[in-house]
Structure 1
Amino acid sequence: MDKSMLKGMAVGGLAMVVLGAGAVGGYKTIAQPKVAEVVAVKEVTETVVTPRERCDNVQVRHQAPVQDPNRITGTAIGGLAGGLLGSQIGGGSGKTIATIAGAAGGAYAGNRVQADMQQKDVVTTTERRCRTVSDKSKKLVGYDVTYRLDGKSGQVRTSFKPGATLPVKNGQVVTTAPRVS
Structure 2
Amino acid sequence: MDKSMIIGIVAGAVAVTAVGGFAGYKAMKGADYAEVISAKEVTEKVRTPRKECSDVAVTHQAPVKDEHRIAGTAIGAVLGGVLGNQVGGGKGKTLATVAGAAGGGYTGNKVQQNMQESDQVTGTERRCKTVYDSSTKTLGYDVTYRLNDKQGVVRMDHNPGQRIPVRNGQLELTSTGANSPS
- TM-score normalised over the length of structure 1: 0.73
Q: CA deviation at 1:143?
A: 0.9
Q: Is it true that 1:52 corresponds to 2:50 in the alignment?
A: yes
**Which residue in 2 is equivalent to 1:142?**
140
**Which residue in 1 is equivalent to 2:85?**
87
- SS of 1:96's partner is helix
Distance 1:173 1:27 in 2: 17
Count of matched residue positions in the alignment of Structure 1 and Structure 2 = 155
Aligned CA RMSD, in angstroms, stands at 2.5
- SS of 2:101's partner is helix
Q: Is it true that 1:63 corresponds to 2:61 in the alignment?
A: yes
Structure 1 residues 133 and 45: CA distance shift in structure 2, 3 A = same
**Which residue in 2 is equivalent to 1:19?**
none
Structure 2 portions without partners, runs of 5+: 1-20, 176-182
Bigger shift: 51-60 or 131-140?
Answer: 131-140
Q: CA deviation at 1:111?
A: 0.9
Q: How does 1:1-16 map to 2 (within 5 A)?
A: none
Q: Tell me which of 124, 128, 131 is aligned to 1:126.
A: 124
**Which residue in 1 is equivalent to 2:38?**
40
**Which residue in 1 is equivalent to 2:28?**
29
Q: CA deviation at 1:103?
A: 0.7
Q: CA deviation at 1:104?
A: 1.0
**Which residue in 1 is equivalent to 2:153?**
155
Q: CA deviation at 1:113?
A: 1.8
Q: Check the 8 A contact 1:33/1:168 in 2, yes or no.
A: yes
Structure 1 portions without partners, runs of 5+: 1-21
